[in-house]
Structure 1
Amino acid sequence: MKKSIKFFVLGMMLIIIAGCGSQGEAGETDSIKIGSMFELTGSAAAYGTSMNNAVHMAVAEINEDGGINGKQVEVIEYDTKTDETEAASLTTRLGTRDQVAAIIGPATTGSMQAAIPSANTAEVPIMSPTATDDGVLTDSNGDVHPYAWRTSFTNSFQGSALAQFANDELNAKKAVILSDNSSDYAIGLTETFGTIFDGEIVASENFSEGETDFSAVLTNIKDLDFDVLYVPGYYEEAGPIIKQSREMGLKQPILGPDGMGNEILRDLAGAENMNDIYYTSHFVVTSEDPAVQEFVSNYKDEFNIEADMFTGLAYDSVYVLKEAIENAESSDPKEVNEALKDITDFPGITGTFSFDEKHDPVKTVNIIEIQDNEEVGVYEVDPNF
């Protein structure tokens, strides 16, 4: 009995020692782990899947080039299922059990807001490529969340840019707003546009997520005198709105935010209806920048689909984290987070940017012009608001 007890105690000590060794800092492992946490299923899957693809492509490039600080990078991938509770839970899992150096994702504002408290608790930086709501990186007191970052510009930034564009480039004097009243994203965009637009808002109509028939609301505005139709929302509803408005005879320019920037928009709207469409973008696919063209070509070759601004933002997120890890000379999450604060003039394919004191990137806003279903122009706007 005594001998059995001795071996039992020795075995338990070995288990405890092994367990302690497995809980070492992220920087002490043989590889550098980065979490990829996107909406691979659910209503935002079109965004999440493309961004997850871009993360994997960037990591493959980095590994082929020797890794970061001499270590290969490992992607720990999870599906948030476009569910905020799942996003919060996965953040905890990545930051504690998986011990990643940083987390990229999720795509949507709601999921990012749900995930941030878990990231703060785990003390691991979380970077959303596309959570654009102004308040997502700050708490109820207006204080910046210490571990939350993004590579996209904010809603007020792009809402202001669209209003300035309507004022200066389209010389619009009257506008109609058709907004998604079920989305904080759209509500914020609507408020900023209304504040910055110099002309008159002759009507402000609403729709809700998931609607497909907009004939009634379009009939309400059809005979109004206006110069532009502003549609703050996502491609799922913006596509049918473009299609039905054009089929109803509405020929005014249609303006929208980055949520319209997905190839599915063209499928839903119909190629013949994609005229006088303008939307904000973080990324210009037709740019002559060799780095952009190489990314676009490689992404198409790898995944057999076109790159867009969402893929570009996710790709930049990987590389800006690479720079932070290199500068920190560590993959310890706390040290990586500190290094992100000193990132300046980062040469991303979505533009050169630095992080400000709110952890937002400072960059210009691109507005894409679509005529005959083709991208024919790009306008750069520096919002003043």
Structure 2
Amino acid sequence: MKKTPLKLLALAMGLVSLSCQAQERVRIGFMSPVTGPQAGYGIDNRDGAALAIKELNAKGVKVGGKTVQFELDVNDDVADPRQGVQVAQALVDKKIKFVLGPYNSGVTMPASRVFANGGVIVLTVASNPRITTQGHSNLFRIGATDNQLGAKMAVYAAQDLKVKTVAVIDDRTAYGQGVAQEFTAQANKLGIKVVAKEFTNDKATDFSSILTAVKAAKPDAVFYGGYSAQGGPMLRQMRGLGITAPLLGGDGICSAETATLSQVSSDMNVYCTQGGALIDRSAKGKQFLDKYKAEFKRDPLTYAASFYDGAHLLANAMEATQSTDPAKVGAHLAKSSFAGVAGEYAYDEKHDLKSSAVTVFTFKGKDVVPLKSL
């Protein structure tokens, strides 16, 4: 019998209904500083995650017979702990059960308690070792710790740069203090003498007083625990005072932003560490770099690859468990391994990475270039 237009419409509506029933929306929260002095890092993180979400939706991840449609819920914590707690609570209130971020250790510490109470799976690059000693079973680190970043910088300083004396400055944030402490501890073990200890804050612009004290100590190198927003201007003021010693740091200054803000046109003489092996040495790494640049018309900075991996890590766990239940996804993450762009994701009992390579970088012009993995 010939179908009437009304019957055809009903049939079409039924097909649409079936199609909708065969899809499941999974929102993944994102938090990082996407405005303010550290916006460059936050935007980089956001775009790494967004690229992964685009790929996953194009691929069509299926869980429980349904195609999962991923959405990235982007939130700006401006690198501020108070704002971070508010963002975390807002994500919990929206019933979001998976979060990529935060970026900063100082934000992650208080926000992680909110997420723990809300049963949210958190994948963070925040590096302070204390973050994973709080006993939050829902939190996983997807980057190196300060122990690795700071200690490996000390190893490179001693073995490759032949540094004998060093001045240490930190910005009094959880990250800055943590990475500076780990650098200092390893430097002491390696026989590097700390001849000056100074501190600033993550809003400072004038470092003349502390740099005058550093200059008087005549160190072979200066280690700065902090971010590019202060690291760049600090380098400019160092050179203005005639301090020619190399500036060392962790991943917080491993960005082209350091070069831009320093306004140093000659050899910057800066070395920094970043979690992960040399990304452009692997096929996966090269593919990621090419895709990122094609999508955003620029090179990635520090942790775009880690946030990209984090989204794929979550999707892989959902596929493996055939569930979007955060408890099941978290249990899988804790006992499994996943080969990503930035490295291997396999966890110890604290949910730190069992193994995380660290790469030392330097600057050529405004480009951050890798030297060696440790």
Tell me, yes or no, if structure 1 residue 91 matches structure 2 residue 88. yes
Q: Give the secondary structure class of the aligned counterpart of 2:335.
A: coil
| Pairing partner for 1:102 from 86, 98, 102 | 98
Measured at CA, do residues 243 and 292 of structure 1 come closer, stay the same or move farther in structure 2, by a change above 3 Å?
A: same
Once residues 90 and 321 of structure 2 are traced to their aligned partners in structure 1, the CA distance between those partners, rounded to angstroms, is 24
Tell me, yes or no, if structure 1 residue 30 matches structure 2 residue 30. no
> Partner amino acid for 1:78?
N
| Pairing partner for 2:212 from 209, 216, 219 | 219
> Partner amino acid for 1:37?
M
Q: Deviation string for 1:39-59 (max 9, x for gaps)?
A: 223443222222112111110
Tell me, yes or no, if structure 1 residue 150 matches structure 2 residue 145. no
Structure 2 residue runs of 5 or longer lacking an equivalent are: 1-21
Once residues 250 and 86 of structure 2 are traced to their aligned partners in structure 1, the CA distance between those partners, rounded to angstroms, is 30
Given that 2:143 and 2:306 are in contact with CA atoms closer than 8 Å, whether structure 1 keeps it comes out as: yes
Which residue of structure 1 aligns with residue 128 of structure 2?
133
More divergent stretch after superposition (56-65 vs 269-278): 269-278
Once residues 74 and 365 of structure 2 are traced to their aligned partners in structure 1, the CA distance between those partners, rounded to angstroms, is 38
Q: Deviation string for 1:77-108 (max 9, x for gaps)?
A: 333344434433433443453x3341111211
Once residues 77 and 192 of structure 1 are traced to their aligned partners in structure 2, the CA distance between those partners, rounded to angstroms, is 32
Once residues 210 and 89 of structure 1 are traced to their aligned partners in structure 2, the CA distance between those partners, rounded to angstroms, is 21
| Pairing partner for 1:183 from 162, 169, 173 | 173
Given that 1:277 and 1:371 are in contact with CA atoms closer than 8 Å, whether structure 2 keeps it comes out as: no
Given that 1:276 and 1:370 are in contact with CA atoms closer than 8 Å, whether structure 2 keeps it comes out as: yes
Measured at CA, do residues 292 and 68 of structure 1 come closer, stay the same or move farther in structure 2, by a change above 3 Å?
A: farther
Alignment of structure 1 residues 187-266 onto 2, 5 Å: 187-197=177-187, 198-266=191-259
Which residue of structure 1 aligns with residue 152 of structure 2?
161
How far 1:311 sits from its partner (Å)? 1.0
Given that 2:236 and 2:264 are in contact with CA atoms closer than 8 Å, whether structure 1 keeps it comes out as: no
Once residues 277 and 102 of structure 2 are traced to their aligned partners in structure 1, the CA distance between those partners, rounded to angstroms, is 22
Measured at CA, do residues 101 and 68 of structure 1 come closer, stay the same or move farther in structure 2, by a change above 3 Å?
A: farther
Tell me, yes or no, if structure 1 residue 121 matches structure 2 residue 117. yes
More divergent stretch after superposition (70-79 vs 53-62): 70-79
Measured at CA, do residues 80 and 173 of structure 1 come closer, stay the same or move farther in structure 2, by a change above 3 Å?
A: closer
Q: Give the secondary structure class of the aligned counterpart of 1:370.
A: strand
Once residues 254 and 87 of structure 1 are traced to their aligned partners in structure 2, the CA distance between those partners, rounded to angstroms, is 30
Q: Give the secondary structure class of the aligned counterpart of 1:34.
A: strand
Measured at CA, do residues 83 and 255 of structure 1 come closer, stay the same or move farther in structure 2, by a change above 3 Å?
A: closer
Q: C-alpha root-mean-square deviation of aligned residues, in Å?
A: 2.3
Which residue of structure 2 aligns with residue 4 of structure 1?
none
Tell me, yes or no, if structure 1 residue 48 matches structure 2 residue 42. yes
Given that 1:37 and 1:79 are in contact with CA atoms closer than 8 Å, whether structure 2 keeps it comes out as: yes
Once residues 183 and 279 of structure 1 are traced to their aligned partners in structure 2, the CA distance between those partners, rounded to angstroms, is 18
More divergent stretch after superposition (303-312 vs 83-92): 83-92
Given that 1:62 and 1:68 are in contact with CA atoms closer than 8 Å, whether structure 2 keeps it comes out as: no
Given that 1:246 and 1:273 are in contact with CA atoms closer than 8 Å, whether structure 2 keeps it comes out as: no
Q: Give the secondary structure class of the aligned counterpart of 2:205.
A: coil
Structure 1 residue runs of 5 or longer lacking an equivalent are: 1-27
> TM-score w.r.t. structure 2 length?
0.85
> TM-score w.r.t. structure 1 length?
0.83
> Partner amino acid for 1:94?
L
Once residues 343 and 61 of structure 1 are traced to their aligned partners in structure 2, the CA distance between those partners, rounded to angstroms, is 22
Once residues 121 and 23 of structure 2 are traced to their aligned partners in structure 1, the CA distance between those partners, rounded to angstroms, is 18
How many residues are aligned here? 347
Which residue of structure 2 aligns with residue 353 of structure 1?
345
Once residues 156 and 266 of structure 1 are traced to their aligned partners in structure 2, the CA distance between those partners, rounded to angstroms, is 25
Measured at CA, do residues 124 and 211 of structure 1 come closer, stay the same or move farther in structure 2, by a change above 3 Å?
A: closer
Alignment of structure 1 residues 195-344 onto 2, 5 Å: 195-197=185-187, 198-283=191-276, 287-344=280-337
